[in-house]
Structure formats: structure tokens, C-alpha cells
Amino acid sequence: MLGVDVGGTFTDVVAARDGRIEVTKVPSSATDPASPVIEGAGRLGLGGVQVFNHASTMGLNAVITRALPKVGFLTTEGHRDILDRGRIWRPPARQSDTSWRRPFGDAARPLVPRYLRRGITERLLADGSVHTPLDEEQARGQLEVLRRCAVEGVAICLLNAYVDAVHERRLRELVHEELGEGVAVSISSETSSLAKEYARASTTVVDVLMKLIFTGYAHRLDERLREAGFAGELNFADCAATLLPWNEALERPFRIVFAGPAAGTMSSQRFGEALGERNLVCCDVGGTSTDVSLVVDGAPFVDNTFELEHDLIINALSTEISSVGAGGGSIVSISPTGDVVVGPSSAGSDPGPACYGRGGTQPTVTDAALLMGLLDADGFAGGALHLDEGLARKAFVSLDSPLALEQRIGFAFRIAAANIAEEVTNVVLRRGEDPRDFTLIAYGAAGPMLLPAALDLMHVRRVVVPPHPGNFSALGLLSTDLVYYDVRSAYVPLVPEAAPQIEAVFDEMERRLRGRAGRDGEVRRSFDGRLFGQSWETPFVQIPEGPIDVADLVERFHETYERRYGNRFPYIPVQGVSYRVELRVPSEKVDFGLPRGGSDSRSRSQSPRTIELRHFAGEPLEAAEYERSALPAGARLSGPAVIREGLATTFVVPGQTAEVGTFGELVIEAA
């Protein structure tokens, strides 16, 4: 079983065989992303592999950088500016910032420029009746403009098409007649048949873009894997890190626009299962940012939309992941009133932190960690890079601050930890949960170094550093199921007479899903509803299979609502809005290895080296330094301590203990 995570900088490949986990990293290629995948897979061996799971951030990166194919957008005449409008709102923190523009608006960087957004004479009303019939001559005239502009794809989203697809389907035929069979087309009523035109339109645009980005790539990849001897199933992971056979994924590829970080949540969930932990904060601290997500009662938090940029939303089920600009490369600066500020800007990997010696002059969190003695100048990233303390110090000296040098360094490290702690608290509270019920899984290159220092600020029970923290996300690709899903909108008051209508919606979706999957699996139904008078839905009210019992739906809604909002309004009628079915087909999964025994006498005899840690808490600290691979299960040590391994460093702060668990994990708690 192989998993590959194609990131912007590196392509990570992981393999699980006979209980062993192997990992490798290959630099990514912008021009030929398939090659590093083939190379990495070749290194770990494709022979006998039954399942090959693929995740990539290519789609999101293309959208964010606007390195996009040229597409047209067709909508009801008079409404082409829904893509400029979004949902209007600005980010709260940019309220009075005169430099803010809607990132996808016409005044900034639209995904489809206004002249390629064309209005079509037609109009359906909210009840599905035809107000204006489709004017085919007018439509052909608009398509002629798109043909002249040589668009490669067309997204179609007509108003109220979620009620009736008739005009969209006919328009698609006209597109093929005018622009040729080869042009990629997505229509909103098939891509995402949900009410509210902006999200449906934006989903449809992203869908046609992903068709153009992924179709050729997926075919090439499949072909080259088969040439290299692969004979199993190739699956693509989506925004919720669930898997789809690759050709199924290409039917509605908006789902796979972003599929890296969600895999980290899956990995945590799976590892949590092994540990017997059901409530987890999953925290991936990388170079530029920290991604935080939750597993509650054994399941990740899934949202019914995914936001690519501020308010650029698509109707994709996605693991809810929150990001904060704090990572190893976050830049340290001084505010006008003298506060030490960490991030949100980052030195990235180029030039990187000052200590990389690649021209960076601004101090970063990594520079602080090096000066504190946490990082080993010669052992960084498996020894691939020598870190220069002189440059790190110079960068901190250059800050214009009344603080002493050692305070700047110590504050920078602790503020970085505090920023991450705020985001963790934020994510947990937003979900109405109490952090004291959670175990935090710390991964990503900088996670094990920063997160234990934030333990007391986050109020979580403990921090667990899993094995392979540097490649932990990619392991999630070997921890997930195949999931087919569909969702439909119908505004229906939940009264007993509504049962047949709701049942019909579910039955039809389930029949189609089984047809697409070609096999059976576990069916999960849910609906999004609201109290009469509300406009925001309470999503994911779980309901059982079988005949619809409306009274039961209403009761389940009130329970879900009360958990989320703290109030119960049994006297207000409930309205069903969207109905969702997931068909879950179990797939082979990674085994996190056999419990590691504590009988290795060589490791038991390890006596730690003592190193000096500076600037963390005033006076220098004497800290024990361990090699992680040499620590046996059951070993217990006290902070201050530093535990080193190839791609990460764990820092156990004074007042904490770390214990090596049965799967090789480090469990860090307040002493």
C-alpha cells in the first residue's frame, strides 16, 4: 500500500508493508508533477502494491497563484457579477485596512475575468417555472465570443437551476456544438445541486478548472504507474481525505482541489484509535503555518464547504482545518509599541530563516530555536543543511527593540507557541468543546519542538508526538476509506406529510451512488436544517437509514442545535434544506506497527548527554539530550530535555515529563 502527498516543495511518499512503514521525499516539479511521484514510488517499490492513494495541493496552489487555464462562465443574463460579489463580507481583522480588496473580485484577481463571464437570456423562478425560455440564438452569439477568445473550458450556473436542470443541460449541448466536443464543461445542477447561487457558481468554476488541471495529469500518472509495474487501484484523496477511484474523481474534481492537510487529521484519528484516544487536537506545525483540526468522539470535524481564499467557497465536504501564520519560518518583528510579533509573514524555504545562510536577514522562529540550543546546527533536516548561529544572532541584533537580545529570542519562541495555543483554543471553542477533554497530536517538522511549550496555555490534557512526525500527514493516505457522496437541496418544512418527498430524495441519491460505486458499503445519511426564520443551516444532523420518520428528524435536529448553540426551541418548526448521503466502502489501512517492546538492552543503557539551553526562562538550563530511536517503550524522562530524530526535535520543557508509549509515541504531560 502506497501513499503520495504532492506538496508545493516536496513530494512525500509513504509505504506500509507487513507492518513496516517506509518513507521518502522527492523535490516536487512544477512542470512535470508526475515524475517525482513515479520516482518516489519506484524507490519504495511498486511490486505487489494493491492500493496507491494520491493527495495533492496542486489544485489549490493553481487557484491561489491564479496559474489557471482559460475558462468561460455562463449564467443568467444580468447576473454575471455574482462571481465578483461573493458573500460581500470582509475579514473581521481587515475591517479598516484600506489595502484590502476582495481577493477574487474584479478589482483584484478574478478567477474568470468579467469579459469571459457571459449572460444568457433565460430565467427560471424559484418554483421551477419558466419565466423566460432559453434563447438559443442569443446563447450561440455569446458562445461565439468565447470561441473567439479560445477558452478551454466552460462553467455554467443559471439561477434556480438547483430546482430544474433543463436550461443548463441544453446549454451544455450548445457549448459542445459551438466550441467542440473537446471543451471541458461543468454545469452547476450536476456539479453541486444546492441553493444559493454564489457558492454553486464558484464550485462549478473550480470544477471545470480542476477538470483541465487534473484530467491529463491523472491519465499520464496512471499510464506511467502501469508501465512501472503497478497493477492495483489508483485513488485520489479529497478535501476530507476520503478516497475516490481516480476516474470517478475526474467526474467532479472540485472535490480534490485540496487534499494534503486533511490527511494529517486522518492519520491522527487512526493513531488515536491505536492509542484508545477519541478526542484529539491535530496540530501540524510546518515552515510557514500551523494547521489545526479536531477529532471528536473518534471522528474528524467535517464541514459542508471549503474556503480556498477568504470567501472563495466551494460546496465540498472538507475536514475543517484552521490555519495560523506561525511556523518555523515565521518572521519575528517588533511592533511600534514594542511588542514582539511573530508572523504572519514567513521566510518560507527561500531564502528561509537567517541561519540557513541563503540570504535571509530577518530573524525567524527557527533562528530563535537554534540560538536557544534546541536545534543541532549540524543535525538539522537529517544533516542536509548546516545552520549558522552567527547569522541567526545577527538577525536578532538587527531588530529595533528596547529588549535585550536574550529576551527577544526567548519571547519570539514563546510568542510563537502562544499564537499556536490561541489558534488551538479558538478551534476547540468554535466547536463548543472543552480543551481539557483533548489530547493534542503534535506533528510537522516544528510541532514537537513548539507544542509542548504551549501545553499549559492550551489547557489540553497532554501532548503526544507520534512516530514519524515529519511524514505523519502522508501516512493519513493509508488510513482512509473510499467515500462516494451526493447532496441535494429542497426547502421542505418537516411535517409528517413531507416523509415521502424526503425519502424519494434519499432513495434516488443512494441508487445512483451504488450504481457509480459498483459495490455496496455503509450508507450514512444526514441533513442540514434550520429553524423557521433562520438563514444559516445547522449542518450534519445524522439520521438513520430506512423509512423516514419526520418526528425523529425533528428531535435529532433539536439535539444537534442545542449542542451547538446552547438553546433549544422546540416550539419553532424545523425546515429541511439539504440532504446528504455518503456511501463508505472500506479500504485497506495502515497498521501503526506492532507495539514496541521495552526489552532492548542497548537503548535502556542510553545515558543522556547534557546540553545547555539558553534564553528560555532567564538563566541557562541544563537539559538532557536523547536520541529518539534509542528510547525504549516505557522510558520516562523529565524536562528540560531535548529528544532528537532525523526530521524533528522534541522539546520537553521544565516541569513536564515525557514517557515513551507502546507504539513509540512520546506522551508529554505536566509533571
Partner 1 sequence: MTAIRDLAPAEFEERYRCDRFTATVLTNRFGYLVEHMCARLLTSAFSPILRDFYDFAATITGPPACGWPTPAMSASIVLFTGTMADSVRNTVEEYGVDRLEPGDVIVANDPYRNGTHVNDLLFVRPVFHAGDLAGFVNMKAHQLDMGGVVPAGFSIAKRNVYENGLVLSPRALYRAGKPVHDTWSLIFDNVRFGEILAPDMLSIVAELDLGERLLGETIERYGAAAVQGAMTYACDAAAERMSTALAAVPDGTWVGEDVIDCDAAGDDEEYRVRVTVTKRGGRAEVDFSGTSRQARTCINATPLDAKTTVGIAFKYLFDPEGWFTSGAMRAVDLVIPEGTVVSALPPDGAVFAYWEQSQVMLSAVLRALAQGVGEDAIAGDRGSADIHSANGVRPDGSSWISAAQVGGEIGAYGGNRHGDADSQMLSYQANGIGVAVESVESEVPVVVLRHEPVPDTAGAGYNRGGASMLRDTLWLAPARHHLMSLRYKRAPGFGVHGGGEGATGGIWITDEAGEETHVAGMDDGVYRYPYRVPFWETRTGARLRYVTAAGGGWGNPLEREPERVLRDVRDGYLTIEGAARDYGVVVTGDPERDPEGLRIDLEATDRLRRGR
Question: Least distance from C-beta 429 to partner 1, angstroms?
Answer: 6
Instruction: Among 299, 429, 504, 670, indicate the residue that binds partner 1 (CB under 8 A).
Output: 429
Decide whether 84 or 389 has the Cβ nearer to partner 1. Answer: 84
Give, as ranges, the residues between 216 and 255 that touch partner 1 (CB under 8 A). Answer: none
Shortest Cβ distance from residue 149 to partner 1 (Å)?
A: 5
In whole angstroms, how close is the CB of 132 to partner 1 at the nearest point? 9
> In whole angstroms, how close is the CB of 95 to partner 1 at the nearest point?
4
In this structure, what are the phi and psi dihedrals at residue 242, rounded to the nearest 5 degrees?
-95, 160
Q: Contacting partner 1 (CB under 8 A), which of 30, 359, 383, 491?
A: 491
| Segment holding 500, helix H or strand E | helix 499-517
Report, in Å, the least distance between residue 94 CB and partner 1: 8
Please identify which residue in 2, 51, 120, 123 interacts with partner 1, judged by CB under 8 A: 123
**Longest CA pairwise span in the chain (Å):** 84
Write out the binding residues for partner 1, residues 442-461 only, by CB under 8 A.
Answer: 457, 459
Restricted to residues 391-420, the positions that interact with partner 1 (CB under 8 A) are 401-403, 411, 414-415, 418-419
558-577: contacts with partner 1 (CB under 8 A): 564-567, 569, 572
Segment near partner 1 (CB under 8 A); pick from 121-129, 603-611, 613-621, 626-634: 121-129
Which DSSP string do the residues of 536-595 spell out, in sequence order?
Answer: S-EEEEEE-SSS--HHHHHHHHHHHHHHHHS---TTS-EEEEEEEEEEEE--------SP
488 binds partner 1 (CB under 8 A): no
**Which residue, 105 or 379, is less far from partner 1 as judged by CB?**
105
| Closest separation in Å from C-beta 403 to partner 1 | 8
Q: Does 336 bind partner 1 (CB under 8 A)?
A: yes
Cβ atoms of 306 and 330 within 8 Å: the answer is: no
> To the nearest whole angstrom, how small is the minimum distance from the Cβ of residue 114 to partner 1?
4
Q: At 132, which amino acid appears?
A: T
Task: Select 381 or 572, whichever has its Cβ closest to partner 1.
Answer: 572
Torsions phi, psi for 288 (to 5 deg): -110, -25
Shortest spacing between CB 150 and partner 1, in angstroms = 9
Q: Which residues contact 570 (CB under 8 A, 6 or more apart)?
A: 558
Options 159, 292, 505, 621; binder of partner 1; rule CB under 8 A: 159
Question: What is the distance between the alpha carbons of residues 129 and 123, in angstroms, rounded to a whole number?
Answer: 9
**Does 670 engage in binding with partner 1 (CB under 8 A)?**
no
Backbone angles phi, psi at 185, to 5 degrees: -135, 135
- Report d(CA 257, CA 289) in Å as an integer: 19
Regarding 106 and contact with partner 1 (CB under 8 A), the answer is: yes
The answer to whether 657 and 456 have CB atoms below 8 angstroms apart is: no
The reply on whether position 102 binds partner 1 by CB under 8 A is yes
307 binds partner 1 (CB under 8 A): no
Complex with partner 1: residue 193 or 364, whichever CB lies closer: 193
Q: Which is nearer to partner 1, 41 or 368 (CB)?
A: 368
For the bound state, the minimum distance from the C-beta of residue 294 to partner 1, rounded and expressed in Å, comes to: 15
Measure the N-to-C terminal CA separation of the chain; round to a whole number of Å.
Answer: 40
Q: Which is nearer to partner 1, 182 or 566 (CB)?
A: 566
Which class for 106: exposed (0-12), middle (13-18), buried (19 or more C-beta within 10 A)? middle
Closest CA to 313 of 237, 236, 261, 257: 257
The residue from 42, 45, 69, 105 that contacts partner 1 (CB under 8 A) is 105
The neighbouring-strand residues paired with 51 are 233
What is the nearest approach in angstroms of partner 1 to the Cβ of residue 98?
A: 5
Nearer to partner 1, 66 or 131 (CB): 131
Give Cα 363 distance to the centre of its chain.
28
Is 105 or 608 the residue whose CB approaches partner 1 more closely? 105
Interface with partner 1, residue 131, by CB under 8 A = yes
For partner 1, the closer CB: 274 or 403: 403
Q: Would you give the distance in Å from CA 338 to the centre of its chain?
A: 35
* Residue 127, C-beta contacts closer than 8 angstroms, at least 6 positions apart: 163
- By CB under 8 A, tell whether 180 contacts partner 1: no
Min separation Cβ 327 and partner 1, Å: 17
Please select the residue that binds partner 1; options are 50, 361, 426, 638, rule is CB under 8 A. 426
147: contact with partner 1 by CB under 8 A: no
Residue 390 neighbours by CB under 8 Å, 6+ apart: none
**Binding residues for partner 1 restricted to 42-101, rule: CB under 8 A:** 77-82, 84-90, 92-93, 95-99, 101
| Angstrom distance (rounded) from CA 217 to CA 219 | 6
Contact between 401 and 338 under an 8 Å Cβ cutoff? The reply is yes
| C-beta of 54 vs 615, nearer to partner 1 | 615
Contact yes or no for 632/595 (Cβ under 8 A):
no
Does 325 participate in binding partner 1 (rule CB under 8 A)?
no
C-alpha cell at 271: 493513531
Question: What does the alpha-carbon distance between residue 509 and residue 558 come to, in Å, rounded to a whole number?
Answer: 25
DSSP string, 109-153: --SS-GGGEEEES-EE-TTS-EEE---HHHHHHHHHHHHHTT-SE
Residue 289 near partner 1 by CB under 8 A: no
CB of 506 to partner 1, least distance (A): 22
Give the shortest CB-250-to-partner 1 separation in angstroms. Answer: 28
Q: Given candidates 125, 231, 594, 617, which one binds partner 1 under the rule CB under 8 A?
A: 125
Q: Which residue has the cell 445547522?
A: 538
User: Contacts with partner 1 in 349-388 (CB under 8 A)?
Assistant: none
CA distance 73 to 115: 9
**φ and ψ of 581, to 5 deg:** -130, 135
Per rule CB under 8 A, is residue 167 in the interface with partner 1? no
617 binds partner 1 (CB under 8 A): no
Residues 6+ apart with CB under 8 A from 439: 272, 275, 277, 279, 280, 281, 460, 461, 462, 463, 464
Q: Which of 148, 182, 610, 671 binds partner 1 (CB under 8 A)?
A: 148
User: Does residue 211 contact residue 184 with C-beta atoms inside 8 Å?
Assistant: yes
Q: Hey, is 440 helix, strand or coil?
A: strand
Which of 107, 227, 378, 622: binder of partner 1 (CB under 8 A)?
A: 107
Residues 626-645 that bind partner 1 (CB under 8 A): none
Under the binding rule (CB under 8 A), the answer on residue 149 touching partner 1 is: yes
Site string for partner 1, 500-539 (x = CB under 8 A): -------------------------------x-xxxx---
